[in-house]
Amino acid sequence: MSRSTRHRIAIIGCGGVSEMHFRGYLAHPDRIEIVAAVDPSPERREWVTETFGITATFGSISEALEGADFEVAVVSTPSHVRLVAVEELAAAGIHLFVEKPLADGVAQAIEIVDVASAAGVLLAVDQNFRYHYAFGHARDAIREGRIGRVIAIDHRELMWREVTGWRAEQRHHSLSVMGVHWFDGFRFILGQEADWLVATTHRSPALEAAGETDASIHVRFADIGVNYTQSFSSRVERIETIVIGEAGTLLLDYDHLEIHTADGVETVSNPWAGPGKPESAFLGLDDLLTAIDAGGEPSNSGRDNLRTLSLLEAAYLSAETGEPVRFQDGVL
């Protein structure tokens, strides 16, 4: 089967995050046909039909399985109700592309991975910042030896961000919203797993959030140290990632990568950094579709994502205990 094979999919959960999925997939009709959308809210189902022209909408997964023919489900429900959705879909033999974070903790993520494995379906996670941020270009530059052996990474994302809805009510906040992207990105560009991590977190009274708004983290990948600062309460807005190597330095953000060496500066544009993240959502799903076509496991598999979630959970554990947290092959 070729990469141009067309797949029939359903989108499960039509909240705000689903918009990038609808827009990304509708832009690739040769690869994807959206045949169903599921949400318990009549208003959200009406929004899907009016905005994207999808008329086959359902109030539950069971109704969709009965009324539509699809082989892949994009699960964009809130993370705390995701296991139930995965269990029902996997039992029906549906391959799964799940929004991040895969689950609210590693134990439940392992359960989700095991459910998919037992059902014989593939499971991938929408770690779309591998494309939306310039991580992919940085990974290529490192693999090509452009900056020599990597010594350290410094990453900071500072902003004023007021999150509303169900996310603002969760016990874990800024790291679950954004940190899961950055942890995955560090793993992705380095191509190796973390040994240990230490973290502190803080909840700013200036924001109405139940969980942390700020965090400071240090992660060790063998002899490479990663310093990471996350803030939703900063009055200074800034985002950048600096990768220091023995022969050069990388500076990256969403729309480009700069490669600084003794020969000067080369700039590489990131074509997938557009607003709304539709193309990066498509590319993440396409990893899963390619694995379905070829009979392999996607690079963004649920099993791979256990290591990203381990970093996230370890950050919360370290912040609570004040102690470093160690990993075994990248997993708690």
Helix, strand, coil % in the chain, rounded to nearest 5:
40, 30, 35
Strand 256-261 with 264-269, pairing: antiparallel
Tell me whether residue 293 is exposed, middle or buried, using C-beta atoms within 10 angstroms of its C-beta: 0 to 12, 13 to 18, 19 or more.
Answer: middle
CA dist., res. 129 & res. 133, Å (int): 5
Residues 6+ apart with CB under 8 A from 208: 162, 168
Contact (CB, 8 A) for 14 and 274: no
CA dist., res. 314 & res. 310, Å (int): 6
Cα 283 to chain centroid distance, Å, stands at 12
State the pLDDT at residue 4: 64
Which residues are paired to 196 by β-bridges?
220, 326
For residue 18, the SS3 value is helix
CA dist., res. 209 & res. 247, Å (int): 43
Which residues are paired to 233 by β-bridges?
160
CA dist., res. 57 & res. 121, Å (int): 24
CA dist., res. 144 & res. 142, Å (int): 5
Q: Which helix (H) or strand (E) holds 309?
A: helix 302-321
> For the residues of 106-129, what is the DSSP string, one character each?
HHHHHHHHHHHHHHT--EEE--TH
CA dist., res. 292 & res. 310, Å (int): 26
**pLDDT per residue as tens, the chain (332 positions):** 345 699 999 999 999 999 999 999 999 999 999 999 999 999 999 999 999 999 999 999 999 999 999 999 999 998 888 999 999 999 999 999 999 989 989 999 999 999 999 999 999 999 999 999 999 999 999 999 999 999 999 999 999 999 888 778 888 899 988 999 999 999 999 999 999 999 999 999 999 999 999 999 999 999 999 999 999 999 999 999 999 999 999 999 999 999 999 999 999 999 999 898 999 999 999 999 999 999 999 999 999 999 999 999 999 999 999 999 999 999 99
Residue 194 phi/psi, 5-degree rounding, is -75, 150
CA dist., res. 122 & res. 289, Å (int): 9
Contact (CB, 8 A) for 213 and 231: yes
CA dist., res. 318 & res. 332, Å (int): 12
State the pLDDT at residue 2: 45
> For the residues of 158-221, what is the DSSP string, one character each?
EEE----GGGGGSSS-HIIIIIHHHHHHHHHHHTS--SEEEEEEE--TTS--SS-SEEEEEEEE
CA dist., res. 298 & res. 226, Å (int): 26
